[in-house]
Amino acid sequence: MTINIENEKQQDAATKVETSRRNFIFGSVAAAGLTVAPAVMLYQTANARSLSDFSLKDGASSKVRLGMLVDTSKQVDWNKSVEACNKEHGLGNEKDSRDDQKTQYIRVVDVKNKGTGYTMSLPVMCQHCEQAPCIDVCPTGASMKRPDGIVLVDSHRCIGCRYCMMACPYKARSFVHEVLTDQTENTPRGKGCVESCNMCVNRIDKGQEPACVKASNGAIVFGDLNDPTSTISALLKEHGGKQIRADLKLNPGVYYQGI
């Protein structure tokens, strides 16, 4: 039986050699197209999106949800990112404030497992929550979220009540206690206002990545969480990522790997 079947198959193959080869060629081309095309499209859309969606004149788009992915397993010196942040925003120019009063946009948190003794450090900045408590409690509307998901303080409206500092579970906000001079052009900051990481809006609006991302040597990835073809989405889909205090259901825009 089996032999007969094989013979039949061979005969079929012999008679249908023309069509099968054509089918094979067409099939292989289609298969190649299927494998190559998504990669090309991914590459093209990733490039096009980074340029087109951060246009200066169109403003922040609500189709975009900007976020960051921090890979703590890469053993990077997070202080480099902190330094880049301080330089970008002109932080650290307080003269009379105590160290715990001085503004910090990124805190480097060292954690230790008491059972195993395993230690690690991770940078904690504003987590840019979707359901941000700081916005809920702000009495003046100064605490706000841009359409693209960046949470920041509108200092024009901030009265310095510091409710948002109380509400933030990540301790991400700081208060300016003294008169400041020599601010940077792009980050106005002054006495009596609360401030926090704004994901470098001034850089993002120009189509650049945040300063900490640039200084992190690839350990922090920045991108659009809503875009399935973006690098950050691909990495999250492949390796997963954790949000800090996900139990609070605030849906932060900052994800961590290796924690």
Contact residues: other proteins, CB under 8 A: 56-60, 144, 146-148, 152, 154-156, 179-185, 188-193, 201, 205-206
Closest to other proteins by CB, 172 or 199: 199
Please, what is the minimum distance in Å from the beta carbon of residue 22 to other proteins? 53
Minimum distance from residue 185 beta carbon to other proteins (Å): 4
Question: How far does CA 132 lie from the centroid of its chain?
Answer: 16
* Min CB(189)–other proteins separation in Å: 6
One-character DSSP codes across 115-162: TT--EEEEEE-----SS-HHHHH-SSS-EEE-TTS-EEE-TTT-----
132 vs 193, beta carbon nearer other proteins: 193
The CA distances from residue 217 to 76, 211, 236, 256, in Å, are 8, 11, 18, 16
Closest by CA to 210, choosing from 110, 120, 128, 155, is 128
Instruction: Report, in Å, the least distance between residue 170 CB and other proteins.
Output: 22
Cβ proximity of 138 and 108 under 8 Å: no
Give min distance, CB of 60 to other proteins, in A: 3
Least separation in angstroms between CB 74 and other proteins: 30
* Cβ closest to other proteins, residue 97 vs residue 155: 155
User: 144 vs 161, which CB is nearer to other proteins?
Assistant: 144
Nearest of 224, 54, 198, 61 to residue 128 by alpha carbon? 198
CA gap 252, 64 in Å, rounded: 14
Question: Which residues, other chains included, contact 41 with Cβ-Cβ below 8 Å and sequence gap of 6+?
Answer: 229
* Token couple for 68: 């960051």
Q: Of the two residues 160 and 258, which places its CB atom closer to other proteins in the complex?
A: 160
Q: What gap in Å lies between CA 111 and CA 174, rounded to an integer?
A: 22
State which residue, 27 or 147, has the beta carbon closest to other proteins.
147
In this structure, is the dihedral angle defined by the CA atoms of residues 54, 58, 59 and 62, taken in order, positive or negative? Answer: negative
Looking at beta carbons only, is 6 or 154 nearer to other proteins? 154
DSSP SS3 for 68? strand
User: In angstroms, what is the minimal distance from the CB of 214 to other proteins?
Assistant: 19
